[in-house]
Amino acid sequence: MTNCKPTAAEIKENLEIKLSRFFGCTAAEASKDQMYKATAMTIRDILTEKRGSFKKKVNQAGGKRVYYMCMEFLLGRSLKTNVCNLGLDKEYTEALSAMGYTLDDLYECEPDAGLGNGGLGRLAACFMDSLSSLDYPATGFSLCYEYGLFKQKIVDGIQVELPDVWLPGGDVWLVPRTDRVFKVRFGGRIREEWKPDGRMEVIYEDAEELEAVPYDMMISGADSEGVSRLRLWKARSIQNFNMGLFSQGQYARAMEEATNADAISKVLYPADNHTEGKLLRLTQQYFLCSASVQSIIRDHMAVYGTLDNLADKVAIHLNDTHPTLCIPELMRILVDEYFYPWDRAWDMVKEICSYTNHTVMPEALETWNEDLFRLKLPRIYAIIKEINERFSREAWQVFPGNWPRLSKMAIIGYGQVRMANLAVIGSHSVNGVSKLHSTILKDSVFKDFYRMYPGRFDNVTNGIAHRRWLCYSNPELAGLLDETIGTGYRKNPVELAEFAKFADDPEVLERFRAIKHENKENFSNHLYRKAGIRLDTHAVFDVQIKRLHEYKRQLLNALNIIGMYLDLKDNPDLDIRPQTFIFGAKAAPGYQMAKRIIQLLCMLQKEINASPRIREKLNVVFLENYDVSTAEILVPSADISEQISLAGKEASGTGCMKLMMNGAITLGTLDGANVEMQAAVGEENMFIFGLTAAEVEQLWLRGYRSAEFYSNNNRLGRIMAALNIGFGGESFADITTYLLNGQGVADPYMCLADFESYRLAHEACIKAYSDRAKWTRMALLNTAASGHFAADRSIREYADRFWHIKPIH
């Protein structure tokens, strides 16, 4: 196969070869699953060849590479994206049609890759797409999770976690690289020996050694030469079977070592509300960092034969705190294995590493118990201790005598090892993911570090893969854009701004509205096939799709729905526009309040469904096991985008950008990327409510008492009484207690403080929807203003300001 596009005839021939070689059948005999896998294999071959050619160009040019470290990559399905990125949809459609298959049928055979969870992983996937599309040399690193996060099952409204068995259909995209296996050490003891030549050798005693086996996935770019590599690690024990114990009948103990190794790459984000879970998470993170840094060093040495130019040729980006152990691991390799002096090694590490913070939530700024850390990673602990001591001396010069500040900034303190502090200290650049978030980092979370290193802090607002989320997920809207503004926006998304010229064109507005309704029909049909639920496509589709967390305030949305439900119970003939509230969310397995909110939403759905007259005007749908593939159908159908987090808590958000790009209108607070979206589209084309981040801070300082808002709002009184009685036979009096008399602080995310403002904004939103021409104009302008929020722009900013890498053409 050459780099030229294959013809339909060549594709058909290659498919027949794959079917015969790997499945022993012809096209007439093949199942859909076999044809899907054969198709994926042919795409994988094309990408592998493109990757080889691109890598050769990078090596010849001596190009600097970026290595993107992330605990998760929420890829979704790969077949459709790869076919479209390669521009081969027509050729594959023709070839498969001649063999009795359709591409759409094969797309449905592929499971979503179980490699991610929420916004962090989806952002990483979008960035890999843009890195390839813009021809930057890039590799992503993560773990090859056998069971992903979990498969969500709703039983009587309660979330139950099941294994997400994705590899039987997903492993066709993975290429095992058994020639690139690395060893990773845990536990034991370390001993230092000084050699006659003055070098120190670190000797490991009684350490557990595991093998890291890489599986490579090719990430295609759109209309580009670049193909990025996502390298996923699986853990494997070196001595995985004790024959002596097995012969004695002690079968479980004989397999114990292999079982311990397997656990590392079984599940994403294992529950950490117990010591074993915390230890497994630490093990996963170091396993990822050690294997990845060893791989980076090995590849660099193969090309250049020296590490002296490592900082000129390598950028390592830490996507949140999970991969922070790359910093001490790189120090370990430079100092212990290549004998670089400490100061030289530390300068190299800082120049190579950069860090993106994704949250201001304290629980996400990871810390580890110091004793547990020292036992599990003795050499890494010793290196971090040295980094901490040297940093403390430096900080003393800046803040002499200020012990409280120094102890807060230290990497090790009060029996904890603090990953966020290490990430800031060991990186040359630190950024937030929206302007507001980056300001909060400088003014609050990292304010002491900002005073010490003001030039280290920056902002890069997040972005989304606009080709996937607009061009491929909403082909009818993309077709309208092609006709009106040309196809340049597919490569240069800022050109979407040209679409604003058609905001007063009646014909374009009518086509835009018709496309939205067709997308609603598509989602309704999909939901009926999947869950047996039929939706009224003339109702407003009000969508909140995001990880279930208290600060994202799905509960605030639920309170408003309860109020509407009570109104309709009193008067089923109430004249209101039909509304369907659609939720998609997973709660972390150990997060009980989040699970309780899911149950509330499901019981509301159950009770409303039991009243057909009310359901004609008010509907609630909770999407079980919400995933990327569902989002690709839902997002183009949404009318209202709920972005209602408490101001100051959402770092950025990317779901808001996908919905905006597809013509949904944002109902939200001035939080995260909403602030910049409002600046881009104009405040008249969004519905903003609630306290600002500054007002939230002021209210906390004055003393927030949720009961005051409850006492002054009769509607809230009715809603709380209804919660106590319950829905679907389940009382939610505990949620009333949480909002009014919670342990510690009642209503910690100020749902009651923002309730009335939210209710009025929602009413205004529904009223605006009733003016079809006005609403469609607003929706069109949202699409036109969304180009800034494409991942291509984000990646160019990272490449120019942080990584200093260039495209390779």
Catalytic residue, from 513, 516, 546, 777: name it.
546
- Identify whether 547 is a catalytic site residue: yes
Q: Which of 305, 312, 392 is nearest to 352 (CA)?
A: 312
In the annotation, is 546 catalytic?
A: yes
From CA 732, how far away is CA 734, in angstroms rounded?
5
**Other CB atoms within 10 Å distance of the CB of residue 52:** 11
Q: What is the 3-state secondary structure (H, E, C) of 420-435?
A: HHHHHHCCCCEEECCH
Q: Which of 658, 759, 777, 788 is catalytic?
A: 658
Spatial CB neighbours of 141, under 8 Å, sequence gap ≥ 6: 67, 68, 69, 70, 230, 231, 232, 233, 288, 291, 292, 295, 323
Q: Is 358 a catalytic residue?
A: yes
Alpha helices in 464-553 (DSSP H): 466, 475-485, 506-531
Contact indicator for 142, 212 with CB cutoff of 8 Å:
no
The b-or-e profile of 743-782 (16+ CB within 10 A means b, else e) is eeebbbbbbbbbbbebbebbeebbeebeeeeebbbbbbbb
CA dist 332 to 68, 199, 646, 722, Å? 20, 14, 41, 59
User: Comparing C-alpha atoms, which of 396, 415, 757 is closest to residue 559?
Assistant: 757
Q: Which residues pair with 316 in a beta bridge?
A: 67, 353
User: Are the C-beta atoms of residues 285 and 71 closer than 8 Å to each other?
Assistant: yes
Consecutive H or E run containing 67: strand 65-69
Selected catalytic residue, list 322, 547, 553, 793: 547
Residues 6+ apart with CB under 8 A from 331: 345, 346, 349, 383, 387
Question: Do residues 593 and 738 lie in contact, with contact meaning Cβ atoms separated by under 8 Å?
Answer: yes
Q: How far apart are CA 590 and CA 585, in angstroms?
A: 15
| Whether the Cβ atoms of residue 338 and residue 307 lie closer than 8 Å to each other | yes
* Residue 139 among the catalytic residues: no
The one catalytic residue in 18, 234, 358, 456 is: 358
Cβ atoms of 225 and 50 within 8 Å: the answer is yes
Angle between helices 772-784 and 751-769 (to 10 degrees): 110
Q: Which of 490, 552, 553, 762 is catalytic?
A: 552
- Name the E strands within 207-311: 208-220, 227-237
103-139 CB burial, b ≥16 within 10 A, e <16? beebbebbbbbbbbbbbbbbbbbbbbbbbbbbbbbbb
Return the SS3 of 577: coil
Q: How far apart are CA 70 and CA 216, in angstroms?
A: 15
3-class SS shares of the chain: helix, strand, coil, % to 5: 55, 15, 30
Catalytic residue at 654? yes
Contacts with 190 (C-beta within 8 Å, 6 or more apart), sequence order: 202, 203, 204, 205, 378, 379, 382
Q: Which helix (H) or strand (E) holds 127?
A: helix 119-133
| Spacing of C-alpha 369 from chain mean position | 27
Query: Could you give the residue ranges of the DSSP H alpha helices within 639-750?
Result: 655-661, 674-681, 693-702, 706-711, 714-725, 733-741
Helix and strand totals (H; E) in the chain: 36, 23
With contact defined as beta carbons under 8 Å apart, do 637 and 523 qualify? yes
Is 552 an annotated catalytic residue? yes
E strands in 261-366: 314-319, 353-356
Residue 287 burial (CB < 10 Å; 0-12/13-18/19+)?
buried
Name the one residue in this structure whose structure tokens are 């109104």: 567
Enter the tokens of residue 482.
């092609």
Active site residues: 358, 546-547, 552, 654, 658
